[in-house]
Structure 1
Amino acid sequence: MSVQWKGVMPAVTTKFTKEDQLDLDLFAHNLDAQLNAGVHGIVLGGTLGEASTLSVEEKRELTRFTSKHVNGQVPVMINIAEQSTKGAVLAAEQAQQDGADGLMMLPPMRYKAGDRETVEYFKAVANSTDLPIMVYNNPVDYKIEVTLPMFEQLLSCENIKAVKESTRDISNVTRIKNAFGDRLKIMTGVDTLALESLLMGADGWIAGLVCAFPAETVAIYELQRKGRIAEAIEIYRWFLPLLELDINPKLVQNIKLAEVATGLGSEQVRAPRLPLVGAERAHVLEVIKTGLANRPELPDYKS
C-alpha cells in the first residue's frame, strides 16, 4: 500500500520470550493496541526495536509477520541500518520481498561517512528499490547529519520522500519547509519535542512511548491537527515526564517497563541490554506510577 507520511507511527519494541526468541503473540497484542488507537503506520527494527541485536532472519520474520497481521490497515516500514552500501541494498531488496511498504534509513553504521559518501549511500539504495524512503537524521546519536544541501541532492531520487527529524533543533522544521515545501515530509522523531514540531509544521510523529500509551499519543496528534491546541497541550503536559524516558540511553528498558505497566509488553530485552535494577529502576517505575495515577480522560479524538 502507498505510504502517507503523516500521523503517528510507533517505532515498536521487539518482544522476546524468556528463552530469547521472538515473542510474536505478545508482539501481535501490542500491534492490535496500536491499530485500535488509530496509528497511521508501523516502524520495525529501529533503535527501540533493538535492531542491532536482531539477526537478518529475525528482521525478515518480523516484517513478514507484521505485514500479514496488519493486513493493509496501515503501512509497515522496516529500518535499514547497515555497515555497507551492498548490505543496505540487500536489506532493501529483502524488505520488499517480505512485504514492507517503505523504508526508514540510517546513514552508514560504524564508519563516519563524509557528506559525499553519505549522499551516495542513500542514493544507491534509493535507486535499487521502488519502496519509498524516510531518511533518519539523528546526528546526536549516530554522528552524521544530513544537511539541507545534502537533502537537495537526495531529492533527485523520487522515492526519497521524508525525513525522521531528530536533530533536536526545533527550527530545523522551518528550515526544511522553507527549503523544500511539501516535497520532503517531516516526521518528528524526538518524543519530547513532538507537539512543538507538529505545531511548527511537521507532518507526523515517529513515536516511542506510544508503545505503552497509544491512545494518548494519537490523541495529541489528532487534536492539534483539528486545531484543538489547548486540549492537545493539556495531554502533552501530563505526558512529558513519561516522554522523557525516551531520550535516555536506557530507552528500550524504560519503555518496556512502561509496556508492562499498561499490559502491552514484557520486560524481556536482549543482551547486552539487561533489565533495570536498583535506584534506576525505582526512578522509572515511579515516573510510570505517577503517570498512571494521573492518566487523563481522553476526548473523542477519533470522530
Structure 2
Amino acid sequence: MSGNLMNYKEFSRSLETIVGITVTPFHKDTKEMDSDQVKQNAEFLINSGLKVIVPCGNTSEFYSLTIDEAKLEIKMVTEQVDGRAKVVAGVGYAVKTAIELGNFAKEVGADGIMIHMPIHPYITTEGAVQYFKKIITSVDLPAVVYFKDPNISDEVLLELSSMDKLVGIKYAINDLPRFAKTFNKIDVTNNNVAMICGTAEKWAPFFYQVGARGFTSGLVNLYPEKSFALLEALENNDNNTIWEIWNQIVAFEDLRAKYNSGNNVVVIKEAMELVGLNGGVTREPVAPLKEDDKVSLRDLINSWGLNYHKV
C-alpha cells in the first residue's frame, strides 16, 4: 500500500467519532456573520473534545452564505482549530464553485472537504456521479460525500467507493435496510471509506448496529457531554446507557425534525442562546422558532439541568 493510501485509511478511521457541524452566528439586526462568535464556537467544540469539525455544513446554513462568506468561515475555523482537530470544510453549489471552495480550503490548511449534494432539482444518478467525481478529482484533499437525496440511487456511492481520496460517506437517508445493503456492498477496509450516520444522535444507535461507526451532531454545539456519553456507550455496547441517553435527547431531535426538518438549525441556535452560547439568529429561508416550539425547547433545556437565561 502506498503512503497516500495509508494516509487516506488513517483519515477514514479518524472519522469514526462525533463529526461536529458548526453553526454560523449572525447579528440580530443586520444578519451579518459574527466573526468573533464563529471563532468562539470553534474553540468551544475543541475544548469539548471534538476531533472532527465541519464548517459550512447544513447546520452552518451553508446555502445562505455567499462564496466569500463561506471562504471566511472555513478560514476562521481552520485557523482557530490550529491543528487540534481535523477540519473538513463543506463545499457545494456549482461544480466549479465547489472546486474553488475546496482548493481554498486546502490553501488555508483544512484537512478535508465534505461535498454537499447538488441543489438543482433535476438530477440523475449518472449526473450525481459526475458531479462528485469531478470535485473529488479536482481537489487534493480527502473527501467525504454528503448523501441525502432518497431519490438518487446508492449506485452513486458504489461507483465512487473505489476512489482513493473518498474517505467517508455521510449517509443521511433514514432507511436502514437500504443502508445495510449499501454498506455490505462497499468493502470498507479495502476502500478506506468510513460510513457515517448523517442524521445525528437520534439515529446513531440504529446506524451503529448496521456498521456506521461515526455520527454527525448539531447537539454537540450546546450539550457535548451528552453526545460523547452516547458515543462511549455505543463503543462499549452498553445498551442500557445507549437507550437512557436516547430517551433524554429524542425530544430535542424530534423538535428539530418538525416541518420537514425546517426546525433543524433554528432549534440548535435557539438552544445555544438559552444556555448562554453564541447561536445568533437564522437567515432566510430559515424563520425564527415558533412560540410554542420555544416553550417546548425551554422546558427540555430545563429538564436537562443546563444553566440558561431567558432570551
> Structure 2 length normalisation: TM-score?
0.85
Q: Secondary structure at the match of 2:140?
A: coil
Question: Partner amino acid for 1:96?
Answer: K
Partner of 1:300: none
1:178 maps to 2:184: yes
Partner of 1:217: 227
Q: 2:197 & 2:79 partners in 1: Cα distance?
A: 27
Partner of 1:197: 207
Q: Secondary structure at the match of 1:134?
A: strand
Question: Partner amino acid for 2:52?
Answer: G
Where structure 2 has 5 or more consecutive residues not aligned to the other structure, the ranges are 1-6, 307-311
Q: 2:288 & 2:27 partners in 1: Cα distance?
A: 14
1:12 maps to 2:22: yes
- Aligned match for 2:73, one of 62, 76, 80: 62
Partner of 1:129: 139
Partner of 1:50: 61
Shift of 1:146: 4.6
Partner of 1:150: 156
Aligned residues of 1:33 and 1:214 also touching (Cα < 8 A): no
Aligned residues of 1:257 and 1:285 also touching (Cα < 8 A): no
Partner of 2:296: 283
Question: Partner amino acid for 1:50?
Answer: E
Aligned residues of 2:106 and 2:141 also touching (Cα < 8 A): yes
Task: Select between 99-108 and 258-267 the one with higher mean Cα deviation.
Answer: 258-267
> Structure 1 length normalisation: TM-score?
0.87
Q: Secondary structure at the match of 2:58?
A: coil
Partner of 2:275: 262
Shift of 1:36: 2.4
Change in CA separation of 1:29 and 1:91 when aligned onto 2, cut-off 3 Å:
closer
Change in CA separation of 1:181 and 1:222 when aligned onto 2, cut-off 3 Å:
farther
Judging by fraction of residues, say which structure has more helix.
2
Q: 1:111 & 1:88 partners in 2: Cα distance?
A: 17
Q: 1:25 & 1:173 partners in 2: Cα distance?
A: 39
Correspondence 1:221-236 to 2 at 5 A: 221-236=231-246
Correspondence 1:154-173 to 2 at 5 A: 154-173=160-179
Where structure 1 has 5 or more consecutive residues not aligned to the other structure, the ranges are 294-303
Change in CA separation of 1:123 and 1:50 when aligned onto 2, cut-off 3 Å:
same
Q: Secondary structure at the match of 1:224?
A: helix
Aligned residues of 2:51 and 2:86 also touching (Cα < 8 A): yes
Deviations 1:208-267 (A, max 9, x none): 222221111012112221333322321222111112233221211111111112222234
Deviations 1:24-58 (A, max 9, x none): 32233322332222222101112211111111111
Q: Kindly, what percent of the aligned residue pairs are identical? A: 23
1:250 maps to 2:263: yes
Q: Secondary structure at the match of 1:107?
A: coil
Aligned residues of 1:64 and 1:98 also touching (Cα < 8 A): yes
Question: Partner amino acid for 1:22?
Answer: M
Q: 1:55 & 1:85 partners in 2: Cα distance?
A: 15
Compute the RMSD of aligned alpha carbons.
Answer: 2.2
Deviations 1:62-84 (A, max 9, x none): 111111111111111111221x3
Partner of 2:197: 188
